[in-house]
DNA sequence: TGTATATTTGGCTAAACTAACAAATGATGG
DNA sequence: CCATCATTTGTTAGTTTAGCCAAATATACA
């Protein structure tokens, strides 16, 4: 793999990596469901320190997955690209496929 | 987030994490393009030790993204689920979106 | 102005993770 | 038996990072 390709796949991996954490997945899922949430709301839902949630959101923003909008004292986050939901769909089908194979093993 | 949800998002994250590496992304891309590749072919393309490639493939297999088939001395890998290509498509559109925003910053 | 709330950031620690190579082990084919 | 292909083990070194606390910043409201 040459340097150019290396850089290309590193850039892609960076974006995917931003999704590869349970808390951030939850946040993305919640934003997809509700459209928009402020940090304090997400903090309560997730149940960790607000500074931690803020960091997770900064990662998602840095990757270009979410965007923020200041409204008074609150900062509201929302999805910047809708297609991230395809991620979930695909992950679900992989999991279903894994489950099916495990059942096959049990039967035989 | 309760324990049940925690487990749910951890399982999802595990699958996404398996894709969050440039070499593994390259491999998935290559398998999507060519349909099937043995370890030795991939090793030459990637340009790292064969044992390293084998490990990457084991991770992808463990996540349920690829499957293997033994043919004589070689082991051929192929995609188990086609929808992973949606990942790429989405990542591309996120990157395009990022680029567009950067250009806006330059103009203003 | 002063206080409370919301958010980000710096500092820090512990920990997990992981990629990579080398070497040993297994399996297959000639 | 030897060569090739592949996996596994051991190891190292490096990165990463998630989490909390505390400090800094920003806004709203009394």
SS3 category, B35: coil
Nearest residue in B to A80, CA atom = B94
**Is 80 exceeded by the pLDDT of residue A108?**
no
Whole-number distance in Å between B60 CA and D5 C1' = 20
User: Which residue would you say has higher pLDDT here, A85 or A49?
Assistant: A49
Q: How far is CA A8 from the centre of its chain?
A: 21
Distance CA A60, CA B104 (A): 20
Answer with the residue of higher pLDDT: A102 or B73.
B73
| Four-way CATH pick for A3-81: 1.10.10.10, 3.40.50.300, 3.30.360.10, 3.40.50.720 | 1.10.10.10
Mean pLDDT across the stretch B15-41?
Answer: 95
Average pLDDT, chain B: 93
Q: Which nucleotides of C are covered by protein (CB under 7 A)?
A: 4-10, 18-24, 27-29
| Averaged pLDDT for residues B1-30 | 93
Closest chain A residue by Cα to residue B15: A91
Residue B105 confidence (pLDDT) above 90: no
Q: Is pLDDT of B108 > 70? A: no
Mean pLDDT of B32-42: 95
**The pLDDT of residue A10 is above 70:** yes
Q: What is the pLDDT of residue B39?
A: 97
Residue with smallest Cα–C1' gap to C5 = A73
Tokens of A47: 């149940």
Determine contact: A88 vs chain B, CB below 8 A.
yes
Instruction: For residue B74, give the 3-state DSSP assignment.
Output: strand
CB < 8 Å to A17, chain B: 17, 20
Chain centre to alpha carbon of residue B93: 17
Within a 10 A sphere around the Cβ of B19, how many other Cβ atoms? 26
Q: pLDDT by residue (tens digit) across B44-63?
A: 999 999 999 999 999 999 99
A22-80 residue pLDDT tens: 999 999 999 999 999 999 999 999 999 999 999 999 999 999 999 999 999 999 999 99
Q: Residue B107: is it exposed, middle or buried by C-beta count within 10 angstroms (0-12/13-18/19+)?
A: exposed
A16 touches chain B (CB under 8 A): yes
């Amino acid at each position: 793999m040459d340097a150019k390709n290396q850089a290309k796949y590193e850039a892609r991996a960076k974006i995917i990596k931003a999704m590869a954490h349970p808390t951030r997945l939850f946040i993305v899922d919640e934003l997809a469901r509700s459209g928009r949430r402020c940090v304090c709301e997400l903090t309560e839902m997730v149940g960790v320190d607000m500074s931690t949630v803020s960091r997770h959101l900064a990662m998602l923003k840095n990757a270009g997955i979410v965007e923020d909008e200041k409204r008074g004292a609150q900062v509201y986050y929302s999805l910047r690209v809708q297609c991230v939901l395809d991620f979930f769909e695909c992950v679900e089908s992989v999991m279903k496929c894994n489950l099916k194979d495990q059942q096959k093993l049990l039967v035989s």
